Amino acid sequence: KQEVTQIPAALSVPEGENLVLNCSFTDSAIYNLQWFRQDPGKGLTSLLLIQSSQREQTSGRLNASLDKSSGRSTLYIAASQPGDSATYLCAFFGRAGGTSYGKLTFGQGTILTVHP
């Protein structure tokens, strides 16, 4: 069964720091990996989606990388701001033939707090 693990579970930093959030997965049959943001009591906002053929995606201060061989994805947040405070979730979408085909498997999330 696919497992998606996120480290750390929680992170509290002062404003301006560069951050690294980690996501690891056990199933190598990956179709894509998505990073989401969730504010308290709200739905999910898609941040970045990396196809299995890609190594990274960038959007503004966010950069996500994918290393299929090691089963890892990393979300970099540059120059963090208090408005970045939220829960960040990674989600694995498996390709046909794998155990996770057809549905997203979520990590437990990293709760990020950025202090002014």
Binding site for another protein (CB under 8 A): 31-32, 34, 36, 41-46, 49, 51, 89, 93, 102-104, 106-109, 111
β 104-106/86-94 pair status: antiparallel
Least distance (Å) from another protein to the CB of residue 103? 6
Backbone angles phi, psi at 6, to 5 degrees: -115, 135
Least distance (Å) from another protein to the CB of residue 17? 24
CA angle 80, 112, 90 (to 5 degrees): 105
The nearer residue to another protein, 1 or 116, going by C-beta atoms, is 1
Is residue 116 reached through a cis peptide bond, with omega within 30 degrees of 0 on the bond before it?
no
Least distance (Å) from another protein to the CB of residue 42? 6
The nearer residue to another protein, 2 or 65, going by C-beta atoms, is 2
Rounded Cα distance between 49 and 26, Å, is 18
The nearer residue to another protein, 1 or 15, going by C-beta atoms, is 1
Least distance (Å) from another protein to the CB of residue 53? 10
Q: Which two tokens stand for residue 48?
A: 């970045």
Q: Which two tokens stand for residue 59?
A: 């959007």
The nearer residue to another protein, 103 or 115, going by C-beta atoms, is 103
